[in-house]
Amino acid sequence: MKNNEPIISTQHLDIGFPAKGRKRAPTVVVSNINVALQGGQVVCLLGPNGSGKSTLIRTLAGLHNPLDGKVLLNGKNVTHFSVKEIAQKISTVLTDRITIGNISVYELVAFGRSPYTGWFGSLNKKDEEIVEWAIASAGIEQFVDRDVLHLSDGERQKVMIARALAQDTSAVLLDEPTAHLDLPNRVEIIRLLRKLAHVTNKGILLSTHELDLALKAADTLWLISRDGEVITGTPEDLVLDGTFEAVFEKDSFDFDRSTGSFTLHNPKKEPIHLIGDAVPTFWTRRALEREGYKVVEDNGTTLQVKTYSKQDTFEWKVISEENEDYCSSIKDLLGILRKSQRSNQ
C-alpha cells in the first residue's frame, strides 16, 4: 500500500508521432510506459540520444498527444482536464529557446501566473507574493529588472525555473535543464531542484544525459532502454543489478561499477597495481587510465605504482621487474612508464 498518491502516473502509455499520410504507421518511440511521479522526489529521466526523453516529457505535460494508453493526473485521466487546469498542476521548462528581448526578468517570471490571472493578466496581491517567492527561491533577486536578453545561459535557466515555480504546480517537468551549462551552474541548478523537491514537496522530473549527475541527484531513475522500454528504480539498485550498464554500454565506452563513472578509453596496455594515499591515487588512476593502462586491485602484476603524500607535495614510485624509479609529478610518472614500455618492445 502506498500512502503517497502519485501526482502524475501513466498506464500502458505509448509515445511517439502520429501516422503521416495514409500508408505510414505511427512511429512509436517508447511503448508500454508505467511510471509514477511522487511528490517530494527528484526523478531523472535518462536515455541515449533520440530515445524519446523529450517526447515523454512533452506527453506528460500535455503538449503532445499519447499514441495509446493513459496519462493520469492526480489519479484522473489527463484528458478530463482543460489546458488551464493542467497548467495549474504541471509546469514545464522546455528546451525551446527564448529569443525575445525587451522583457524584464520580473515580467517573465510573472507570466507564470497566467493560469490564475484574469483575461488581462493583471496580478493581484497574492500573485505578486508568489512571484516574489519564486524569484527568491530560485535565487535570482540580483537581476530581477535585467532584460531577459542579457542573461547568461545559467541565469536564463534559473529564470525559467522561477517562472515554473510561479506557476505554483505540484509537478515540475524539466527537459535538459543542465544542457549548455558549465559545471558550477549544473551543480547549482540540481541543488536548487533538490531543495525545492524537499522543501515544497513538489514532484520534479528532469531529463538529462549527464549520467554521473543523475546518479548523484536522483531519488529515482527512469531509464529508457535501447529496445524502447522504461525501467525505473533507485539509482544505486539499477547500477548494482547491471541495468544501468546495459542501457548505456557502447563498444568503446565502459561503465565502471566500482567508481560509478564511464571510462573513455579501452585499456590496451598491461595491468598496473596502484596503491597509496586516497587523493593522489584517485588522480593517478585517471591519468593511467587515460594512457590506456588497466588499473587493478590485485598485486600480481609486473608493474606497480605507489603514491606518497606529504601535505601538498606528492611522490610516486614505479616498480617494474628491472628497477624502481621515483618521481615528483604525474607528468614524470607517465614519462617513466612510456620509456620503459619503449624499451620493452
**Among 31, 41, 51, 91, which residue interacts with another protein (rule: CB under 8 A)?**
91
**Distance, CA of 90 to chain centre:** 20
Element (H, E) at 314: strand 313-319
Residue 86 as a binder of another protein (CB under 8 A): the answer is yes
**Among 23, 83, 258, 297, which residue interacts with another protein (rule: CB under 8 A)?**
83
Nearer to another protein by Cβ, of 15 and 61: the residue is 61
Nearest-angstrom CA–CA distance, 291 and 293: 6
Q: How far is the CB of 90 from another protein (least distance, A)?
A: 8
Report DSSP letters for 58-91, one per residue: HHHTTSS--SEEEEEETTEEGGGS-HHHHHTTEE
Nearest-angstrom CA–CA distance, 159 and 135: 8
Q: Which residue has the cell 598491461?
A: 270
Task: Report whether 203 contacts 29 (CB < 8 A).
Answer: no
Nearest-angstrom CA–CA distance, 341 and 322: 12
Q: Considering only residues 164 through 193, tell me which ones interact with another protein, judged by CB under 8 A.
A: 167
Residue 332 as a binder of another protein (CB under 8 A): the answer is no
**One character per residue 29-68, x = contact with another protein (rule: CB under 8 A):** -----------------------------x--xxx-----
**Among 7, 8, 33, 106, which residue interacts with another protein (rule: CB under 8 A)?**
106
Q: How far is the CB of 117 from another protein (least distance, A)?
A: 7
Residue 323 as a binder of another protein (CB under 8 A): the answer is no
Residue 141 as a binder of another protein (CB under 8 A): the answer is yes
Bridge partner residues of 262 (DSSP): 255
Nearer to another protein by Cβ, of 68 and 128: the residue is 128
Nearest alpha-carbon partner for 213 in 187, 231, 188: 187
Going 95 to 96 to 101 to 104, the CA torsion angle's sign is negative
Residue 90 as a binder of another protein (CB under 8 A): the answer is yes
Write out the residues near another protein by the rule CB under 8 A. Answer: 58, 61-63, 83-88, 90-92, 94, 96, 98-104, 106-108, 110-112, 114-115, 117, 119-121, 123, 128, 132, 135, 141-142, 144-145, 149, 167
